[in-house]
Amino acid sequence: MPHHRYPDDVDLEARLLRVRRNQAELNSGKLLDKAPKSRAGFRPVAFPVEIVPDLTHHLERHVGQGPDGNFFIGPRRGKLRRSNFRDDWTAAKVAAGIAADVHFHDLRHTGNTLASQNGASTRELTTRMGHSTTRAALIYQHMTSQRDRAIADRMGEAVRKALGKEDSPAASDTPVAQPE
């Protein structure tokens, strides 16, 4: 049973955020909750246990109350507006020691890049992001030297297994290509 002090979109036990709505600010200044842009936008997004304490802190201080409360609220506990978000975001970056040139959307980019680097397939990224095509997911699947090394190491394990060899060569015996 959800804890109705928090929005129903947050389930700390299952470690899920359910994306079912988002907020829009019309040119007139009117704020409204609306459905995601597509059916793919309605989705659960799992999060790691390591962020539960931070998320609990956020839930206790920075969300709208009750089952339909907004996950992000403004400084006076009302709905967040474009006009005050920049100041709130700037203050949050300073408090967290984040570079001034980091944009809010960069958080989405970072999260999706981390998911990709930790094994998420293109289809899994597409689902996590709430997209109906894989085009956007491909943007986040950057090759990094660290990820490339992990892939090569797993390939080596598969070769050893196929050849019936248990031990891997000692790291000191294996030449390492140096970046040019």
Query: Could you tell me the residue ranges of all domains in the chain?
Result: 1-100, 103-164
CA dist 138 and 131 (Å) reads 11
Per-residue pLDDT of 120-145, as tens digits, reads 888 998 999 898 888 877 877 766 66
What residues contact 102, with CB distance under 8 A and at least 6 apart?
Answer: 93
Residue 173 has pLDDT above 60, yes or no: no
Per-residue pLDDT of 96-113, as tens digits, reads 999 999 999 898 888 888
Residue 94 has pLDDT above 90, yes or no: yes
Per-residue pLDDT of 39-56, as tens digits, reads 888 999 999 999 999 999
Closest by Cα among 22, 2, 7 to 59: 7
- Pairwise pLDDT comparison (120 vs 166), residue with the higher score: 120
**Predicted pLDDT of residue 170:** 53
Query: Lowest-confidence range among 3-7, 54-58, 117-121, 144-148?
Result: 3-7
**Mean pLDDT, the chain, whole residue set:** 83
What residues contact 120, with CB distance under 8 A and at least 6 apart?
Answer: 128
**Predicted pLDDT of residue 142:** 66
Q: What are phi and psi of 18, to 5 degrees?
A: -105, 120
Question: Dihedral through CA 101, CA 106, CA 107, CA 113, nearest 10?
Answer: -130
Helix (H, G, I), strand (E, B) or coil at 148: helix
CA dist 51 and 47 (Å) reads 7
**Predicted pLDDT of residue 55:** 92
Helix (H, G, I), strand (E, B) or coil at 39: helix
Query: Lowest-confidence range among 16-20, 96-100, 175-179?
Result: 175-179
Residue 1 has pLDDT above 50, yes or no: no
168 band by pLDDT with thresholds 50, 70 and 90:
low
